[in-house]
């Protein structure tokens, strides 16, 4: 069945107000430019809807807490009255409502028809955008039109430092000043004293403008009168300056939203040249893929940044904007083949995190680099140690110390980027260090016994089973990194032996140690059944079977239904685990019958309790030449954000789901892969898709593919 479709596939649109879903819908209408993102809250306010603008990398540590990328002083607010009645959609429902995200230009437009208790009918058209030309610049305007009777409209707007989210107020106003008749600035400092912000705001389009001199929320106030049929546009331009993006001034007076959009469009056009995706026969899928690409680009730092792409992009508070393995395995592979500069920026962020990764390894008495499960701006692990259940009970959180596969996933993303980009300078200066130092970690972590090398007491991607031994995913990825470190060292020895010599010296790795890494990789324990199925972890095949289908349909996880203790006792998988390993590692996935055996065994017992799971299953099904099965998983992956299928949409868009569906399209339905040194595609299209067209980059060369169901390998 085709995904729902409407109007142009370059637009994401809603045509009615859904108050109960306001926060979830707000995340979908986020605008951003990689430096910052503004959630799609309403300018005039709405009960239960939290306005938020996030600046990438500006992590704040509240007292007694862990770092969070909390909302900075808010720029979008406008208190509006119409004939003295507050203009609020939560107090008086609109007669008409439409909101549109134009993905070609990065503009959200909201049109509202509203009638007050005593006033005539007002049409208001709001537009907002984040500049791609000047990343600190954001802009909005609203055009008011009196449709039936004369109206008097007042507007208050400025910068509000008192904005709060789930973690309280994170910024304190330190001063403000009026710069000229329609421009003011506010300075603020984070509550931990680490960051300073300067924010300029210009408001135009109002009569008799006055300043309301509130220290924490300086703002302008003005009014105007409209005759029937008359219109007036009020414009608000705001610029954020921080150490991340140094001081620059607002554009000259007279600059409006149209000029800001015009400056952004060439940047978006260049991005879309290499992220083009066209689906003939399924406009809903085409829109979903463009939506995914738009939001990944809008959340990816365009230059060096102390942050990167968080688990919920820049669209909500979920996971405090910490960076997980989601980015390395689900987002970066897509960016590598479409926006390699953005992929490189993330990997440079990982390189800057090596200091924290080494400190973490040392804390556990190991060598090398053990990457943070939840990363912020320092490389140190920000995973909470304690959590709280709904009943108030405190629980120990072990993810940060036991989900060790993050280290190999960073190395895998690094290697994947190098293979596709041919960026030898990056690999020599940065990538090799990450791969080799992670291999050093695994060498110190593995326990060599008579029957092989083990990794005991871990949590693999199947987070339903904790404190397990020999997680297949963890073990096979560790063995891969050990082998790959030897290959990369050999490549460096050939291309620049001086660089290799210096690197081995800095990492305290003897050349004989590299040979030992290769030997150790061969000893890593990987278990397989007589039916050619790799065992998810030691003892998994001995657990009780469970009929996952008997619990469906349900939006609650099976862990929630069975309880944590019983979940540990049954053959249940939270998300793609063994399956994902075979997708990532071709040397395992390409073995005859291996992927099919694993898919057929594990897919029926996978709960998909994580947003990471469904898209990976779609990609695997495509590789098995099961396009209709792949499309079913693809549609369910799209629904995670578009239908709030996991009931957590108010926390922001799921980065992994968006990156995953793009991989499912290009690497799955399009069959995009590297065949030796050259890219190759092969069509595996769903039955109702007439064609799939997309662009990608290989070694700085842009390629185009147009595939039909009859297309052969290209």
251 and 377 part of one domain: no
Confidence (pLDDT) at 557: 86
Longest dimension (CA), the chain: 89
> Are 200 and 180 within 8 A, CB to CB?
no
DSSP H or E stretch at residue 198 = strand 196-204
| C-alpha of 705 from chain center | 26
pLDDT digits 0-9 by tens, 68-114:
998 999 999 999 999 999 999 999 999 999 999 999 999 999 999 99
For the stretch 192-220, what's the b/e string if a residue is b when 16 or more beta carbons lie within 10 angstroms of its beta carbon? eeebebbbbbbbbbbeeeeeeeeebbbbb
> Are 380 and 316 within 8 A, CB to CB?
no
Alpha carbon distance 528, 521 (integer Å): 17
Q: HSE-up of 675 (CA within 13 Å, CB side)?
A: 8
Residue 673 in any domain: the answer is: no
Question: Helix, strand, or coil here: 582?
Answer: helix
pLDDT digits 0-9 by tens, 48-65:
899 999 999 999 999 999
CATH number at residue 478: 1.50.10.10
Q: What is the mean pLDDT of residues 380-406?
A: 91
Confidence (pLDDT) at 6: 53
Residue 660 in any domain: the answer is: no
Pairing of strands 386-388, 701-708: unpaired
Q: What is the CA radius of gyration of the chain?
A: 26
DSSP H or E stretch at residue 155 = strand 151-158
73 and 214 part of one domain: yes
Instruction: Quote the tokens at residue 29.
Output: 């209408």
pLDDT digits 0-9 by tens, 414-456:
999 999 999 999 999 999 999 999 999 999 999 999 999 999 9
Say what angle helices 340-352 and 354-363 make with each other, to 10 degrees.
40
Residue 710 in any domain: the answer is: no
Confidence (pLDDT) at 391: 77
Residue 508 in any domain: the answer is: yes
Which one, of 14, 10, 159, lies nearest residue 642 by Cα?
14
Final residue of a domain: which of 458, 493, 526?
Answer: 526
Alpha carbon distance 581, 362 (integer Å): 27
More confident residue, 53 or 386: 53
Alpha carbon distance 331, 346 (integer Å): 10
Structural domain range at position 214? 11-271
Which one, of 676, 666, 655, lies nearest residue 697 by Cα?
666
Say what angle helices 627-642 and 655-663 make with each other, to 10 degrees.
150
> Are 413 and 351 within 8 A, CB to CB?
no
> Are 265 and 78 within 8 A, CB to CB?
no
Give Cα separations from 101 to 9, 29, 78, 107, 111 (angstroms): 11, 6, 20, 6, 12
> Are 131 and 33 within 8 A, CB to CB?
yes
- Provide DSSP, 526-548: --B-TTS-B-SSTTGGGSBP--G
Which one, of 199, 172, 167, lies nearest residue 183 by Cα?
199
246 and 384 part of one domain: no
How sure is the predictor about 393, in pLDDT bands with cuts at 50, 70 and 90?
A: confident
Length of the chain: 714
Task: Answer whether residue 187 shows pLDDT above 50.
Answer: yes
Alpha carbon distance 566, 107 (integer Å): 49
Q: List the beta bridge partners of residue 38.
A: 31, 53
Task: Answer whether residue 1 shows pLDDT above 70.
Answer: no
Residue 307 in any domain: the answer is: no
Q: What is the mean pLDDT of residues 535-540?
A: 98
Instruction: Quote the tokens at residue 421.
Output: 């980009």
How sure is the predictor about 5, in pLDDT bands with cuts at 50, 70 and 90?
A: very low
Please return the burial class of 554, using the count of CB atoms within 10 Å of its CB with bins 0-12, 13-18 and 19+: exposed
> Are 301 and 57 within 8 A, CB to CB?
yes
Percent of the chain with pLDDT over 70: 98
pLDDT digits 0-9 by tens, 639-691:
999 999 888 889 999 999 999 999 999 999 999 999 888 999 999 999 999 99
Alpha carbon distance 618, 660 (integer Å): 9
Which runs of consecutive H residues, i.e. helices, occur in 278-398?
283-299, 325-326, 332-338, 340-352, 354-363
Q: What is the mean pLDDT of residues 698-706?
A: 98
Residue 315 in any domain: the answer is: no
- Provide DSSP, 378-394: SSSB---SEEE-TTS-E
pTM confidence score: 0.96
Final residue of a domain: which of 246, 271, 296?
Answer: 271
Q: Which residue has the tokens 């008011």?
A: 144
Instruction: Quote the tokens at residue 237.
Output: 């331009």
pLDDT digits 0-9 by tens, 231-275:
999 999 999 999 877 777 899 999 999 999 999 999 999 999 999
Residue 446 in any domain: the answer is: yes
Q: What is the mean pLDDT of residues 620-633?
A: 98
Confidence (pLDDT) at 7: 62
Q: What is the mean pLDDT of residues 339-351?
A: 98
Task: Characterise 134 by phi-psi region: left (phi > 0), alpha (psi -120 to 50), beta (else).
Answer: beta
Q: What is the mean pLDDT of residues 31-55?
A: 97
Residue 669 in any domain: the answer is: no
How sure is the predictor about 552, in pLDDT bands with cuts at 50, 70 and 90?
A: confident
Number of C-beta neighbours around residue 178 at 10 A: 13
CATH number at residue 183: 2.70.98.40
Which one, of 693, 706, 712, 700, lies nearest residue 289 by Cα?
693
Number of C-beta neighbours around residue 639 at 10 A: 16
Confidence (pLDDT) at 387: 85
Please return the burial class of 589, using the count of CB atoms within 10 Å of its CB with bins 0-12, 13-18 and 19+: middle
**Residues contacting 589, CB < 8 A, separation 6+:** 582, 583, 595, 623
Helix %, strand %, coil % of the chain (to 5): 35, 25, 40
**Residues contacting 415, CB < 8 A, separation 6+:** 431, 435, 484, 488
Q: What is the mean pLDDT of residues 109-128?
A: 97
Q: Which residue has the tokens 């791969």?
A: 435
Alpha carbon distance 150, 163 (integer Å): 34
> What dihedral do alpha carbons 176, 180, 181, 184 form, nearest 10°?
-30
pLDDT digits 0-9 by tens, 305-318:
899 999 999 999 99
Question: Helix, strand, or coil here: 139?
Answer: strand
How sure is the predictor about 512, in pLDDT bands with cuts at 50, 70 and 90?
A: confident
Cα angle 139-145-150, degrees, rounded to a multiple of 5: 135
Alpha carbon distance 582, 598 (integer Å): 8
Task: Characterise 552 by phi-psi region: left (phi > 0), alpha (psi -120 to 50), beta (else).
Answer: beta
82 and 186 part of one domain: yes
Alpha carbon distance 358, 286 (integer Å): 43
Alpha carbon distance 496, 292 (integer Å): 39
pLDDT digits 0-9 by tens, 491-511:
999 999 999 999 999 999 987
Q: In the chain, how many domains are there?
A: 2
Mean pLDDT value across the chain: 95
Which runs of consecutive H residues, i.e. helices, occur in 392-551?
399-402, 405-421, 424-426, 432-445, 472-495, 497-507, 511-523
Confidence (pLDDT) at 709: 84
More confident residue, 604 or 5: 604
| C-alpha of 463 from chain center | 20
Alpha carbon distance 222, 237 (integer Å): 16
pLDDT digits 0-9 by tens, 591-618:
999 999 999 999 999 999 999 999 999 9
252 and 385 part of one domain: no
Task: Characterise 193 by phi-psi region: left (phi > 0), alpha (psi -120 to 50), beta (else).
Answer: left
Confidence (pLDDT) at 712: 67
Final residue of a domain: which of 526, 557, 574?
Answer: 526
- Provide DSSP, 585-645: -HHHHTSTTHHHHHHHHHGGGB---STTHHHHHHHHHHHTT-HHHHHHHHHHHHHHHHS-T
How sure is the predictor about 3, in pLDDT bands with cuts at 50, 70 and 90?
A: very low
Backbone angles phi, psi at 103, to 5 degrees: -80, -10
């Amino acid at each position: 069945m085709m995904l729902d479709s409407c109007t142009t596939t370059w637009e994401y649109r809603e045509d009615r107000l859904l108050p109960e879903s306001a926060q979830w819908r707000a995340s979908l209408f986020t605008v951003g430019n990689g430096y910052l993102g503004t959630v799609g809250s309403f300018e005039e306010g709405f009960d239960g809807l939290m306005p938020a603008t996030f600046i990438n990398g500006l992590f704040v540590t509240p007292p007694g807490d862990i770092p969070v990328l909390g909302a900075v002083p808010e720029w979008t607010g406008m208190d509006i009255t119409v004939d003295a009645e507050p203009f609020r959609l939560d107090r008086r429902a609109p007669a008409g409502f439409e909101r549109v995200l134009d993905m070609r230009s990065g503009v959200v437009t909201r049109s509202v028809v509203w009638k007050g208790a005593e006033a005539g009918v007002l049409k208001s058209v709001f537009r907002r955008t984040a500049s791609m030309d000047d990343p600190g610049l954001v802009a909005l305007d609203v055009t008011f039109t009196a449709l039936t009777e004369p109206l008097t409209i007042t507007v208050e707007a400025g910068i509000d430092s008192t904005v709060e989210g789930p973690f309280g107020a994170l910024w304190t106003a330190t001063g403000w000043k009026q710069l000229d008749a329609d421009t003011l600035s506010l300075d603020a400092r984070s509550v931990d004293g680490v960051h300073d912000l300067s924010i300029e705001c210009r408001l135009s389009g109002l009569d008799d403008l006055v300043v309301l001199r509130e220290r924490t929320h300086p703002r302008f106030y003005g009014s105007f009168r409209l005759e029937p049929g008359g219109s007036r546009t009020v414009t608000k331009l705001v610029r954020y300056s921080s150490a991340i993006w140094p001081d620059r001034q607002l554009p000259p007076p007279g600059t409006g939203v149209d000029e800001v959009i015009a400056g952004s469009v060439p940047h978006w056009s260049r991005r879309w040249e290499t992220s083009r995706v066209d689906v003939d026969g399924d406009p809903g899928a085409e829109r979903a893929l463009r939506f995914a690409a738009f939001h990944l680009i809008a959340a990816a730092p365009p230059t060096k940044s102390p942050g990167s792409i968080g688990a919920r992009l820049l669209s909500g508070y979920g996971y405090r904007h910490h960076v997980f393995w989601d980015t390395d395995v689900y987002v970066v592979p897509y960016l590598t083949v479409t926006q390699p500069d953005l992929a490189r920026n993330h990997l440079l962020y990982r390189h800057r995190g090596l200091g924290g990764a080494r400190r973490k390894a040392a804390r556990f008495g190991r060598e090398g680099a053990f990457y943070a499960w939840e990363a912020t701006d320092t490389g140190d692990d920000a995973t909470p140690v304690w959590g709280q259940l709904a009943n108030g009970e405190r629980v120990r959180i072990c993810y940060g110390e036991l989900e060790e596969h993050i280290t190999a996933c960073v190395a895998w993303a690094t290697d994947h980027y190098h293979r596709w980009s041919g960026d030898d300078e990056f690999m020599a200066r940065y990538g090799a260090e990450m791969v080799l130092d992670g291999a050093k970690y695994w060498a110190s972590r593995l326990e060599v016994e008579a029957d092989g090398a083990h990794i005991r007491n871990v949590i693999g991607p199947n987070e339903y089973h904790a404190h397990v031994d020999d997680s297949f995913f963890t073990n096979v990825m560790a063995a891969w990194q050990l082998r790959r470190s030897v290959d990369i060292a050999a490549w460096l020895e050939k291309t620049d032996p001086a660089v290799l010599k210096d690197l081995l010296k800095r990492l305290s790795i003897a050349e004989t140690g590299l040979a030992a890494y290769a030997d150790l990789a061969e000893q890593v324990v990987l278990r397989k059944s007589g039916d050619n199925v790799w065992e998810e972890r030691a003892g998994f095949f001995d657990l009780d079977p469970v009929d996952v289908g008997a619990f469906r349909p349900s939006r609650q996880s099976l862990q929630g239904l069975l309880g944590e203790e019983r979940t540990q006792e049954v053959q249940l998988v939270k998300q793609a685990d063994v399956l994902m390993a075979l997708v990532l590692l071709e040397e395992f996935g390409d073995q005859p019958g291996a992927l099919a055996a694993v898919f057929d065994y594990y897919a029926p017992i996978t709960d998909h309790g994580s947003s990471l799971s469904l898209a990976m299953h779609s990609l695997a099904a495509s590789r098995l030449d099961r396009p209709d099965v792949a499309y079913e998983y693809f549609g369910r992956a799209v629904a995670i954000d578009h239908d709030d299928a996991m009931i957590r949409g108010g926390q922001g868009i799921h980065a992994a789901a968006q990156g995953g569906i793009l991989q499912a399209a290009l690497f799955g339905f399009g069959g995009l892969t590297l065949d030796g040194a050259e890219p190759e595609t092969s069509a595996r299209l769903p039955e109702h898709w007439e064609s799939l067209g997309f662009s990608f980059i290989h070694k700085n060369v842009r390629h185009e593919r147009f595939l039909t169901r009859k297309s052969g390998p290209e």
